[in-house]
Amino acid sequence: MKQLTYIGTIGLLVSTVFSSIAQNHEFTVAVDQPTGEVNPHMWGLFFEDINMGADGGIYAELVKNRSFEFFRPMMGWQTLGNAPEGALLVLNRQEDHAHNPRFLRVNTTTAGSGGVGVSNEGFRGMGIKEGLNYDFSVMYHQRQPGITLRLELVDSAGLVIGRGMLEPQTEADGWQKQSVSFRATATHPKARLNIWFEGKGEIDLDMISLFPEDTWKGRPGGLRADMVQILADMKPGFLRFPGGCIVEGYDLSQRFQWKKTVGPIEERQMVINRWNFEFRHRPTPDYFQTFGLGFFEYFQLAEDIGAEPLPILNCGMACQFNTAEAVPLDQLDPYIQDALDLIEFANGAITTTWGKLRADMGHPEPFNLHMLGVGNENWGPQYVERLAVFQKAIKEKYPNIAIVASSGTDPNGERFDYLDSALRKMDMDIIDEHFYRHPDWFFDNATRYDDYDRSGPKIFAGEYAAQSVRIASPDNKNNWLTALSEAAFLTGVERNADVVTLASYAPLFGHVDGWQWTPDLIWVDNLGVYGTPNYYVQRLYSTNKGTHVVPLTDQGKPVAGENGLFASAVLDKNRNEVIIKVANRDEKSATIQLNLSGTRRVETEALHIELRSDDLDRVNSINHPSAVSPHERIISVDRRRPSVVVAPYSFNVFKIKL
């Protein structure tokens, strides 16, 4: 048995003896008998604007309620100075601007000394970084020229940490947009933006905005680079968007409508975020969807990080946990048309209506959409009836688009059984299964897919996360136990990669000051981001996915929990290496002899990536982002009879060159 010694993150195995109480096992890995190909896009991401994932999160806008469209128009704003009655007035031009009716009229002609201004609190404050430029922009209409906007970033003590001036340039009729950039002089996690109106005059303001210049790819009005980077680091195979329940809406009027999220941002019609009021224990009254991150940006994000886009559309039903409204079948046409138009938006020639819009927005090339989800967590015959109408219309026009259909909210039970059987009869392409369960469920279900029908639909393990307490409990933690149980379960997913072709953890992001649902894969605050142990499990799968599944057995049986061990193996034909994953939930280490059938010898140096903690309650945090994180080292193995050692409570990836 061997003692492991680390040299930096990649070290050399130098000596022996791991533990005197280690167990011994022999796994047979049939390297020469692949059972199927691994979908190169198998391991992906589930994105939903929950927990301030989009607004207040990855969408880098710092001003909250920038166009005064929240239910309370001045939510997030305070007045500054001595404003006489009527000096600051929210006006509503509903008749001719139905999508963005409100704006702020500022009149300083009767203001006395002391100045007049407004201050925005940001989303739980604004994360400001020293030395970075901030891009302020505003749409305005000068009614009586004379007002200059003096801008200040202030920290929580009121100290100014950035200054700028915007002097409206044009007196032309109509609305103009103007921008100015200024540098921050200090870092602060919860700053505010003050706007002082200097001089005498009258001006209308809308879309008051502040972005950091260091957005992803430096795109103005873009995404938070650190949040995109941590996604890109997973090398995700697909990006599912925009949810989740948000697709369904509390009622149909609040459902996600992709067409309202594309085109000029000032015309994207905001709606309340359904997570605003979903949980009485986590109310978030300032949570709305501005759609600065709209469908164009989702497609662009997917492309940027090398992921296949997987949009999910409303199927004509609102959330069945809320109003459960359904559109009458004879009124489903606009919903179907949205689906067909979305395919045209993503893939159509620039001469088509929606393809042209994509080109006008800056992407003449198609986005190469191959999959489309119809409905999220919908169930019952009412879903099946509506889905059938979508299926007919989509397949008639776009036979190559794979349809992803919901199997409801749970991985078993009456609803699941009904849907699973109905969807198989409908010859559905892909069935989306969700499981939010206790860690024990994940350990106990590592063989779930071993007997799935190989000739039927493919499976999308579309939303899963081990719940340390119970589903959606605010006390759930992303601790090592939950991550280890997912790692164990996913050996069963990988072993069955010929039938489970897509997999994603959910939800993706949680803001430490603005979440509604826990656990989440990645947590952020206004300045930083960290991956949970669960994130590292997902990443180890997605970055070590191989090309072909190969059988891994212990005495002829899959390794799925006996003696606390769970294991799977894939071959990477391009690199001529076998990748073996082993989760050990036992308190003992284990020595595993590897019998690689069909291979006479292997290279003596192999890579071992280990994720472990002796403390099953351990979590990562903003201050300790790497408490549970992978360590890599080179190990030496016997050329003909390689063996490896796995520590107690560990998840391991071994990469052995053949």
Residue nearest to ligand AHR (CB): 244
| Smallest separation, CB 399 to ligand AHR (Å) | 28
Q: Cβ of 177: how many Cβ atoms within 10 Å?
A: 12
Instruction: Name the residue nearer to ligand AHR (CB basis): 506 or 524.
Output: 506
| Number of residues near ligand AHR (by CB under 6 A) | 12
Nearer to ligand AHR, 56 or 244 (CB): 244
Q: Hey, which residues between 396 and 455 contact ligand AHR (CB under 6 A)?
A: 409
| Site for ligand AHR, residues 164 to 193, rule: CB under 6 A | none
Q: Which stretch binds ligand AHR (CB under 6 A): 221-229, 243-251, 323-331, 348-356?
A: 243-251
- Contact call for residue 44 and ligand AHR (CB under 6 A): no
Q: Is 59 helix (H, G, I), strand (E, B) or coil?
A: strand
278 catalytic, yes or no?
no
* Minimal distance, residue 287 CB to ligand AHR, in Å: 14
Q: How far is CA 210 from CA 138, 180, 207, 213, 536, in A?
A: 9, 10, 10, 9, 33
Minimum CB separation from ligand AHR for residue 503, in Å?
14
Q: Which of 335, 383, 517, 654 binds ligand AHR (CB under 6 A)?
A: 517
- Contact between 243 and ligand AHR (CB under 6 A)? yes
Task: Please state whether beta strands 23-30 and 590-597 pair in parallel, antiparallel, or not at all (unpaired).
Answer: parallel
Phi-psi region of 561 (alpha: psi -120 to 50; beta: other; left: phi over 0): left
What are the φ and ψ backbone dihedral angles of 609, each rounded to 5 degrees?
-110, 125
What's the token pair of residue 286?
Answer: 């300032």
> Does residue 649 interact with ligand AHR by CB under 6 A?
no
Question: Is 376 one of the binding residues for ligand AHR (CB under 6 A)?
Answer: yes
The alpha carbon of 221 is separated from its chain's Cα centroid by a whole number of angstroms, namely 19
Cβ atoms of 23 and 482 closer than 8 Å: no
Assigned token pair, 145 = 């020229």
Beta-sheet strand order (sheet of 509-511) = 509-511, 522-524, 529-531
| Cα→Cα distances 265→118, 121, 213, 289, 306, Å | 23, 21, 18, 12, 25
Shortest CA distance to 507 belongs to which of 523, 491, 495?
A: 523
Q: Helix or strand or coil: residue 146? A: coil
Q: From CA 520, how far away is CA 344, in angstroms rounded?
A: 33
611 is an interface residue for ligand AHR by CB under 6 A? no
Query: Smallest gap, in angstroms, from Cβ of residue 3 to ligand AHR?
Result: 42
Stretch that binds ligand AHR, among 55-63, 238-246, 448-456, 584-592 (CB under 6 A): 238-246
> Which member of 377, 463, 486, 610 is catalytic?
377
Containing 241, the helix (H) or strand (E) segment is strand 238-241
SS3 476: coil
- Cβ 651 to ligand AHR, closest distance in Å? 23
Cβ-based nearer residue to ligand AHR, 286 or 463: 463
Least distance to ligand AHR, CB of residue 415, Å: 13
Which residues, 6 or more positions from 413, have their beta carbon under 8 angstroms from its beta carbon?
Answer: none
Q: Which of 286, 341, 377, 429 binds ligand AHR (CB under 6 A)?
A: 377
User: Residue 36 to residues 32, 490, 500, 571, 580: CA-CA distances in angstroms?
Assistant: 12, 16, 11, 10, 16
Nearer to ligand AHR, 300 or 409 (CB): 409
Q: What's the closest the beta carbon of residue 554 comes to ligand AHR, in angstroms?
A: 35
Interaction of residue 48 with ligand AHR, rule CB under 6 A: yes
- Rounded to a whole number of angstroms, the minimum distance from the CB of residue 360 to ligand AHR is 31
φ, ψ of residue 202 in degrees (nearest 5): -140, 130
- Tell whether residue 245 is a contact of ligand AHR (CB under 6 A): yes
Among 278, 432, 463, 498, binds ligand AHR (CB under 6 A): 463
- Kindly tell me which residue out of 191, 357, 490, 506 binds ligand AHR, with binding defined by CB under 6 A: 506
Selected range binding ligand AHR among 111-119, 241-249, 442-450, 543-551, rule: CB under 6 A = 241-249
Q: Is residue 62 at the binding interface for ligand AHR, with CB under 6 A as the rule? A: no
* Six-digit token string for 223: 């995404």
Stretch that binds ligand AHR, among 23-31, 237-245, 360-368, 490-498 (CB under 6 A): 237-245
Q: Which residues are catalytic?
A: 377
By CB under 6 A, name the binding residues for ligand AHR.
Answer: 48, 50, 243-245, 376-377, 409, 463, 506-507, 517
